[in-house]
Chain A
Amino acid sequence: MASVIVNGKEVEIGANERLNCIQAAAKAGVEIPAYCWHPALSVVASCRMCLVEVGDKKPDGTVAMQPKLVPGCQTPAKDGTVIVADSQKVKDARKATLEYLLLNHPLDCPTCDQAGECYLQDYSFDYGRGYSRLNEPKNIKPDKTYIGDQITLFTDRCIMCTRCVRFTREVTGSAELQVVSRGSHEEIDIFPGHPVNNPLAGNVVDLCPVGALCSKDFLYQQRVWWLKTQNSVCPGCSTGCSVTVDQNEDRVYRLKPRVNEKSQGHFMCDEGRFGWKYTHSEQRLTSAEIRSNGQTTSKDWDAVLKAVRTALQKAAGIGKGKIAAVLSPWMTVEEAWILGSYLKSLSSNVILALGPVRVSGQDDHFPKDIKGNVIQPVKFTIRAEKCPNRAGVEAVLKHLVGDVMPFEELLRLSSAGQFNAVYLVGGDPAGWISDLQAEAFSKVETVIVQDFLPSPVLKHATHVLPSGTFVEREGTYVNYKGLAQLVRRSVRGPDGSRPDSRILWELSERSGLVQTDAVRKEIASAVSALAALDHAELKNDGVLLSAAEPVGAK
């Protein structure tokens, strides 16, 4: 086993891990500050913040240190590497580098979006000096308010780490950003007429360690210290990017990618990043309703749920009658399980169908060259399948009814008057049913619609159950490659709506409050394909359903 010595403390590293000194030190719990280095980008070693003393421990126990400070990002950590990150020499170098970085920095923290999550602030506090020795005027570079539809550049705050430039060159391949001018006149800029509008553009805002690149969407909306952060999963496509949802007072302000090598890596696409706006739509359904002959007869949740239950039981009781349900690929595994098993318990020949899976174009791989050809290795993919949990819901349905009926087939049977009751779960914010398709349910006696936005089928609904979006859900999403990740509840939905899990929990007359953990255990022991849901790792980076770990291992 290889080991490195960080600040005198020995720590083991994998023999084939290929770590640099920053990563090796992190394993020992020592933070080496850095600006230009990013694990997903190439090394340029230009910020000079990560200078450390590095040496080699010889087999006879003596240590030979290199005479000069070396950048930790550029220096590989091997067996016997000695890293000293807390000597006076290192501290002096950091202090000097920070002073240089702050020389021309405007120090407009009170009006800067990044304040509170700014590496320049953090490291200055930890390693810098409290005052500037610059007696001359600062360089003032003009702001560039338009470098992309979503991005604005405060040029004077930039510390020239070039992370954004490397991102557009190495990850998207679009190379819109560049460095212009030389020396202390250097600025980040776009090539004329080529703004940063690629589908991953928003990532440059996250990459920027200071407040130079800002998101126009989030700009001046919130001070970051008011935001409450919850780990979740982006529902935009079947890639299922790990994200954090930042909210304050039940209002989402932004989504940011969460580093998860098991899932998407470090980044996320703009479609997902800015795609949560429907959560706060004015159109949200906010009242549970019982409707008959165009009249709303009740708006009371308890009464509505009771009526739904009665209607379903009645339908199940009719000899030849049938219940059918459409389970949306936007539901969590737990929600699908509660609904599916409840309906199954009412009628053993219930028909369960998977809701429409929206597919848009082809999978979009990055990086691409100038002609749009994909360059290997692929670093990011936006998938064509625009729903988060087809795999998970399908697994539940397969377990419950064997063959999953295609949505089109269900529509055909419904038009033919085969069903007495249908339970329709929506969830696709872009709409999941057309007017024509909705007609299939016009003659069904009981049409229960559980959705958060209006859809054409609503006009045939006999029962409306306003549900929640992904930031209100709690449960598990399974992505395209079978990675199960937890979606966590971040905000409360608008008054009158209820998250799906609560609606279904109460509908199926389970006792007490919603306990997704308990449901997950139930699924893990019942459904062999989903046995891995019991794994403790699910709470962190998620767990692959095909994982080799023994089932139930904690």
Chain B
Amino acid sequence: MAKFEPVLFARIHKPDSTSLKSYQADGGYSRLKEFLSMAPADVANIVKDAGLRGRGGAGFPTGLKWTFLPKDHPGPIYLAINADESEPGTFNNRYLMELDPHQLIEGIMLACHAIKSNNAYLYLRYEYGRSYRVLDAAVKECYAAGLLGKNILGTGFNLDIVLHRGAGAYICGEETGLIESLEGKRAWPRIKPPFPAIEGLFRKPTIVNNVETLCCVTQILYRGGEWFKSIGVPPDPNNPRDPGSYGPKLYCVSGHVNKPCCVELPLGVTARELIEEHAGGVWKGRKAKAVVPGGISMGFLSDKELDTKLDFAGPGKVGCLGLGTAAVVVVDDQTSMVDVLYNCCRFMSHESCGQCTPCREGTAWMTKILERIRSGNGRLTDLDLLTEVAGSMGIIPGTTICGLSDGAAWPVKNAISKFRGDFEEYIKSGKASVTSAQKLMAVH
């Protein structure tokens, strides 16, 4: 395969890549007027035909999502941009926002045109201070240049982008949690139906798209749907429900590798290729024991499953929850899975919004069990208990309001089924990997 030429990341290494001048010099906004003069439905159809799937984690076809909006809705329609990137190990949106903000802004304009929205709310993870400053400057540049505001480029299209700094919680990245948080409430995910496309932000039809998705929208319109479809993995002919995994994807590789990176590759690259060719291999000359395919809520690949293709369908075939955010976290063979899983559970327990009983109590319980195992008081029966708790927390498709519960349960199911030996050995040896001082730290 010929070396892939980055598209989304084409400009990030250029000097002054964040400025409007530099973006326009590279052809940015050059055809904006042309696109804004097209009928909104035509723009939406280009995206739909390109087979773009949402990059935020669930992989829902973007064009299809747009068609769920009510036809001829008289009131306002909103676009909410999900930039609350908080899945552990994920940092691709941050690259896009900090190094090429105009690509995103143009994507927002095009998406808003396609869904006939005049208001876009960019929900930015609070901790991303630099992203905020860069985006804020870029949006101001656009207003000054007449690219945002009333009657953009004389096309009669109006658009305002509001930057909103998030509320600092993982759950704010959930579609409806984000909407609640944007309205100024606790980020408690809403019950569905109604879906946001019918009743979302301020009870109006709302589309929530990820930053990377919208950057792809820009590229699809400039390069065409055919170009997009020439990249990635076509649908599985044996599975009529598989829409395929087309296009480039930003993979974030972190953990025990020599060179953690965020790299743009066609969908369908294997985990082994990512680690060996792009991340400089596992650190300290060790081997990988487990690899998280796309954020910790997706579960684990074992060392035997490293050749799994990381497209939307691949991780699911080996028992993971899905591709998620394509954040690959590598665990080396000197690390105990008990510690890895404990970390996952502690995170999920901390971030559970506490609305649904199974998630609120289950995440905390699993953390307590793992704490006990780590303090040397584990029992072998705990493993079955953990599996059962994880099983009743998230029965796919979910039995809770949002997907956090499933995502919290999945790494537990995966870790125990794929690395049971690790756990048994740990429990039998009776060793404690936490000192009492650390235990105190964990409590506080």
A interface residues with partner B (beta carbon < 8 Å):
43-49, 51, 67-69, 71, 74, 92-93, 96-97, 100-101, 103-104, 133-136, 139, 159-160, 179, 181-186
B351 interface residue per 8 A CB criterion = yes
Distance, CA A183 to CA B395, complexed state (A): 20
Q: CA–CA, A51 to B392, complex, Å?
A: 12
B332 within 8 A of A: no
Residues on A with beta carbons closer than 8 Å to the beta carbon of B352: 182-184
A353-B23 Cα distance, complex, nearest whole Å: 90
Give bound CA distance, A101 to B365, whole Å. Answer: 11
Expressed in whole angstroms, the Cα–Cα distance for A184 and B365 within the complex equals 9
- Asked if A134 and B365 sit within 8 Å, CB to CB, the answer is yes
CB of B135 closer than 8 Å to a CB of A:
no
Q: Which of A44, A133, A186 contacts B360 (CB 8 A)?
A: A186
Q: How far is the CB of B170 from chain A (nearest CB, A)?
A: 10
Q: Return the contact of A182 from the options B353, B357, B365, B369 (Cβ within 8 A).
A: B353
Cα(A364)–Cα(B361), bound, Å: 41
Besides A93-B399, A184-B363, 16 new A-B residue pairs in contact (Cβ under 8 A), listed by A number: A48-B399, A67-B397, A68-B395, A68-B398, A69-B395, A96-B392, A103-B364, A104-B361, A135-B369, A136-B368, A160-B360, A182-B352, A182-B354, A183-B364, A184-B349, A186-B360
A43 neighbours in B (Cβ, 8 Å):
191
- Among candidates B362, B372, B398, residue contacting A100 with C-beta atoms closer than 8 Å: B362
Q: Contact: A68 with B362, CB < 8 Å?
A: no
User: Is there an interface contact between B354 and A183, defined as CB atoms closer than 8 Å?
Assistant: yes
Assuming the contacts A46-B357, A49-B357, asked whether A182 and B169 have C-beta atoms less than 8 A apart, the reply is yes
Interface centre among A74, A101, A159, A184 (most CB of B within 10 A): A184
- B232 interfacial by beta-carbon distance below 8 Å: no
| CB within 8 Å for A135 and B372 given contacts A68-B397, A93-B399, A183-B353 | yes
Q: Which of B345-378 contact A (CB under 8 A)?
A: 349-358, 360-365, 368-369, 371-372
B46 surroundings in chain A (CB, below 8 A): none
Residues of A within 8 A of B186 (CB): 179
B398: chain A residues within 8 A (beta carbon): 68
Partner of A184, one of B364, B392, B397: B364
Mark B191-220 against chain A: 1 for CB-CB distance below 8 A, else 0: 100000000000000000000000000000
B357 to nearest A CB, angstroms?
A: 5
Query: Are the C-beta atoms of A44 and B191 separated by less than 8 Å?
Result: yes
Sort chain B's interface into a size bin: 20 to 34
B152: interface (CB < 8 Å): no
Contacts of A101 in B (CB 8 A): 357, 361
Cβ A48 vs Cβ B358 within 8 A: yes
- CB of A186 to closest CB in B, whole Å: 4
Q: B residues within 8 A CB of A139?
A: 364
CB of B400 closer than 8 Å to a CB of A: yes
How many contacts A-B (CB < 8 Å)? 90
Listed residue (B351, B360, B399) with the most chain A CB atoms within 10 angstroms of its CB: B360
**Which residues on B are within 8 Å of A, measured CB to CB?**
169, 186, 191, 349-358, 360-365, 368-369, 371-372, 385, 392, 395-401
CB <8 Å contact, A51 and B349: no
Contact assessment for B355 and A46 in the assembled complex, using a CB-CB cutoff below 8 Å: yes
Tell me whether A46 and B399 are in contact in the complex, defined as CB-CB below 8 angstroms, given that A74-B191, A93-B392, A182-B169 are known contacts.
no
A288 and B112 alpha carbons, distance in the complex (Å): 84
- List of B residues within 8 angstroms of A182 by Cβ: 169, 350-354
Residues of chain A within 8 A (CB-CB) of B372 are: 135-136
Tell whether, in the assembled complex, residue A97 and residue B357 are in contact, meaning their CB atoms are under 8 Å apart.
yes
Residues of chain A lying within 8 A (CB to CB) of residue B400: 48
Please state if A136 and B369 are interface contacts (CB–CB under 8 Å). yes
A47 adjacent to B357 (CB under 8 Å) = yes
In this complex, what residue of B is CB-closest to A161? Answer: B357
Residues of B with C-beta under 8 A to A181: 354
Whether A159 contacts B351 in the complex (CB less than 8 A), given A51-B399, A136-B369, comes out as no
Give A330 Cβ to nearest chain B Cβ, in Å: 47
Q: Which listed residue (A45, A133, A179, A185) contacts B401, Cβ 8 A?
A: A45
Of A49, A74, A92, A136, which one neighbours B392 at CB under 8 angstroms?
A: A92
- Distance between Cα atoms of A68 and B396 in the complex (Å): 8
Is B191 a contact partner of A97 (Cβ separation < 8 A)?
no
Q: A68-B395, A69-B395, A135-B372 are in contact. Are A184 and B353 (CB under 8 A)?
A: no
Q: How far is the CA of A48 from the CA of B191 in the complex (A)?
A: 12
Please tell me if the beta carbons of B354 and A103 are within 8 angstroms of each other in the complex.
no
Whether the pair A45, B191 counts as a contact (CB closer than 8 A) is yes
Chain B residue nearest in CB terms to A92: B392
**When the two chains form their complex, are residues A184 and B401 in contact, meaning their CB atoms are under 8 A apart?**
no
Quick one: given A183-B351, A184-B352, are A96 and B365 in contact (CB under 8 Å)? no
- A183 near B363 with CB under 8 A, answer yes
Residue of B nearest to A182 (CB): B354
Q: How distant is A53 from chain B, measured CB to nearest CB, in Å?
A: 11
A-B contact pairs, 15 of them (CB 8 A): A45-B191, A47-B357, A67-B397, A100-B362, A101-B361, A103-B364, A103-B365, A133-B385, A134-B368, A136-B371, A160-B360, A179-B354, A181-B354, A183-B349, A184-B363
B249 to chain A, nearest CB (A): 29
A46 adjacent to B356 (CB under 8 Å): yes
Q: How far is the CB of A138 from chain B (nearest CB, A)?
A: 10
Residues of A within 8 A of B397 (CB): 67-68
* Residues of A with C-beta under 8 A to B358: 48, 96-97, 100
Which chain A residues lie closer than 8 Å to B385 at the CB level?
133
Q: Which B residues touch A179, using CB under 8 A? A: 186, 354
Instruction: Considering the complex, give the chain B residue whose CB is closest to the CB of A100.
Output: B361
**Separation of A92 and B392 alpha carbons in the complex (Å):** 8
Pick the contact of B350 from A51, A103, A183, A186 — CB < 8 Å? A183
User: Whose C-beta in chain B lies nearest to the C-beta of A95?
Assistant: B392
Distance between Cα atoms of A184 and B401 in the complex (Å): 16
Closest to A96 in B: B392
Q: How far is the CA of A179 from the CA of B398 in the complex (A)?
A: 24
Partner of B357, one of A48, A69, A133, A185: A48
Cβ of A103: which chain B residues have Cβ within 8 Å of it? 361, 364-365
* Residue of B whose beta carbon sits closest to that of A69: B399
Residue of B nearest to A45 (CB): B191
In the docked arrangement, what's the CA distance between A133 and B387, Å?
13
Give A69 to B393 CA distance when docked, in angstroms: 12
Q: CA of A47 to CA of B359 in the docked complex: distance in angstroms?
A: 10
Q: Which 10 A-B pairs have the closest CB atoms?
A: A96-B392, A184-B364, A100-B361, A136-B368, A183-B352, A186-B354, A46-B355, A183-B354, A45-B191, A68-B397
Chain A residue at minimum C-beta to C-beta distance from B359? A183
Report the bound CA distance from A185 to B361 in whole Å: 10
Residue of A nearest to B365 (CB): A103
* A155: min CB distance to chain B, Å: 14
Shortest distance in angstroms between B34's beta carbon and chain A's nearest beta carbon? 45
A47–B360 Cα distance when bound, in Å, is 10
B353 nearest CB across to chain A (Å): 6
Output the least CB separation between A389 and chain B (Å): 44
Q: Which residues of A contact B401 (CB under 8 A)?
A: 45-46
Across-interface contacts of A133 in B (CB, < 8 A): 385
Once the chains are docked, how many angstroms separate the CA of A323 from the CA of B255?
99
Q: Which residue of B lies closest to A67 (CB)?
A: B397
Please state if A184 and B360 are interface contacts (CB–CB under 8 Å). yes
**Which chain A residues lie closer than 8 Å to B355 at the CB level?**
44, 46
Q: For B349, list chain A residues within 8 Å (CB).
A: 183-184
> When the two chains form the complex, which single residue of B169, B392, B399 contacts A68, counting CB atoms closer than 8 Å?
B399
* C-alpha gap A167/B25 in the complex (Å): 58
Give chain B residues whose Cβ lies under 8 Å from the Cβ of A49.
357
Chain B: minimal CB distance from A170 (Å) = 15
CB distance from A211 to the nearest CB of B (A): 18
Q: Which residue of B lies closest to A134 (CB)?
A: B365
Residues of B within 8 A of A46 (CB): 355-357, 401
The interface centre, meaning the residue of A104, A160, A183 with most chain B CB atoms within 10 A of its CB, is A183
Q: Please measure, in the bound complex, the distance between the C-alpha atom of A181 and the C-alpha atom of B364, giving whole angstroms.
A: 14
- Expressed in whole angstroms, the Cα–Cα distance for A71 and B399 within the complex equals 8
Contact A48 B356 (CB under 8 A): yes
- Give B381 Cβ to nearest chain A Cβ, in Å: 9
Give the chain A neighbours of B353 by CB distance below 8 A.
182-183
Decide: B365 and A159 in contact? CB cutoff 8 A: no
